[in-house]
Amino acid sequence: MNRDQGARAVLVAAMASGQGKTSVTAALARKLVRQGLRVRVFKCGPDFIDPMILERASGAPVHTLDLWMVGVDECRRRLHDAAREADAILIEGVMGLYDGSPSAADLAREFGVPVLAVIDASAMAQTAGAVARGLRDYGPVQLAGVVANRIASEGHANMVASSLRDIPLVGWLPRQETPLPERHLGLVLPGEVEGLETLLDKLADELHFNEAAWQALPLMAQSALEWPDVGGMLDKKTIAVARDAAFCFLYPANLDLLEKMGAHLRYFSPLADEPVPGDADAVFLPGGYPELHCAELAQASRWQASIRASHARGVPILAECGGMMAVAEGLTDKDGRRWPMAGLLPGEVRMQPRLAGLGAQAMPTGQGPVRGHTFHYSLLETAAPERTHTIKTSNGATGEAVYRIGSLTASYFHAYFPSNPPAVAALFSGAAP
């Protein structure tokens, strides 16, 4: 494939969740990389798991694009930087193309990115044309073409292609005997998928790709915007960041921002019973899957003692969602078994069979709101007073409770740090929200 100056970009979207957006995006990313192209992948909307898979497929960090949480200007900066550095930009959408406010379609229109529609054709043939035209015309959006997923045969693919009329079939994938596995917060972690590299290569091998349709896409043009100067806000501070299979919900942009503000990041693993580094000026306990690792966390005596000691010394600790669960008094897993946790936050966490919190929210602080979101299947029962509450962006209603216990700030809320760097710097410097 010839390399041009600039990048071709598409937003990979569908009519609903479960159509195969991640599989198609991963297959296309791996295929383009193997053809010698530099590929950058983005994820539309709040997500932690899909970007991990897509990073493995593309070989580069996967950042979030969201018109509200990330903001139009930062989205534009990231797309502009990617267009300068890469040959291909793939943006995986969220839910259905027009679902949510802002939706994936809103993002595509804001930046002039054509949409590549993924259609699960396992139970249809010619009707695929009606679905594609509806996706294109409802908004409308610029439709680059269709990738048909779960195709039974080449004849089936031909029927889908003929139904599209003036819309190109950019590619198709056959039914997968071994699909990417999922759990309640999305795909399972890359390290848990046996033979993931082989699976990604197989997806790329089986993607029937219309290279001419790809080459017909225009090169993406983005106007440059300067990045804000945040240097010095956390100058010379060491921030200990929990990072392992239990604490893995980390936006790359959050970590990048902390370093740009001057912080030195030191990673440690509570699962491996590693203590909080003794020179830490602050601690960040991100979300993840502590409920899947209760036994290890309950037995991690060095980790528990170190986080208690840090708290007793007044070290600022920010605990988000799974991080908060790990510092409660106890965690009851989905089988009803209770496990003792670190005990900085009085109360008990219990896993629920149904989703307990979801949606975009903003946390008020003395430096203005911090944008982010919530997504959890557990509930916290506590007598601790709420310091404040987040605000649901959908209706302005009260969102997640934010607790302040000594130097600990804890909530189910996941913050997107670049939405308010001064507020983030204040939190890691010990200020209460």
Q: Which residues are catalytic?
A: 321
Q: What is the pLDDT of residue 2?
A: 42
Write the pLDDT tens digit of every residue in 199-210.
Answer: 899 999 999 999
Write the pLDDT tens digit of every residue in 14-28.
Answer: 999 999 999 999 999
Distances in Å between the Cα of 402 and the Cα atoms of 165, 205, 352 are 53, 47, 20
Residue 171 shares a structural domain with residue 295: no
Q: What is the pLDDT of residue 49?
A: 83
Q: How many domains does the chain have?
A: 2
Q: What is the pLDDT of residue 181?
A: 59
Write the pLDDT tens digit of every residue in 309-358.
Answer: 999 999 999 999 999 999 999 999 999 999 999 999 999 999 999 989 99
Residue 233 lies in a domain: no
Write the pLDDT tens digit of every residue in 76-108.
Answer: 999 999 999 999 999 999 999 999 999 999 999
Sequence-distant (≥ 6) Cβ neighbours of residue 230 within 8 angstroms = 257, 260, 261, 421, 425
Sequence-distant (≥ 6) Cβ neighbours of residue 60 within 8 angstroms = 39, 40, 41
Q: What is the pLDDT of residue 190?
A: 52
Which pLDDT band holds residue 178 (cuts at 50, 70, 90)?
Answer: low
Q: What is the pLDDT of residue 351?
A: 96
Residue 271 shares a structural domain with residue 212: no
Residue 433 lies in a domain: no
Residue 38 shares a structural domain with residue 94: yes
Is-contact 335 301, C-beta < 8 A? no
Give the structural domain span for 252.
238-428
Residue 229 lies in a domain: no
Residue 89 shares a structural domain with residue 34: yes
Residue 225 lies in a domain: no
Q: Choose one of 174, 193, 220: the last residue of a domain.
A: 220
Domain of 22: which CATH number?
3.40.50.300
Sequence-distant (≥ 6) Cβ neighbours of residue 287 within 8 angstroms = 48, 247, 249, 320, 321, 322, 323, 414
Residue 193 shares a structural domain with residue 255: no
Dist CA 346 CA 361 (whole Å): 24
Q: What is the pLDDT of residue 47?
A: 86
Q: Choose one of 164, 190, 220: the last residue of a domain.
A: 220
Domain of 350: which CATH number?
3.40.50.880
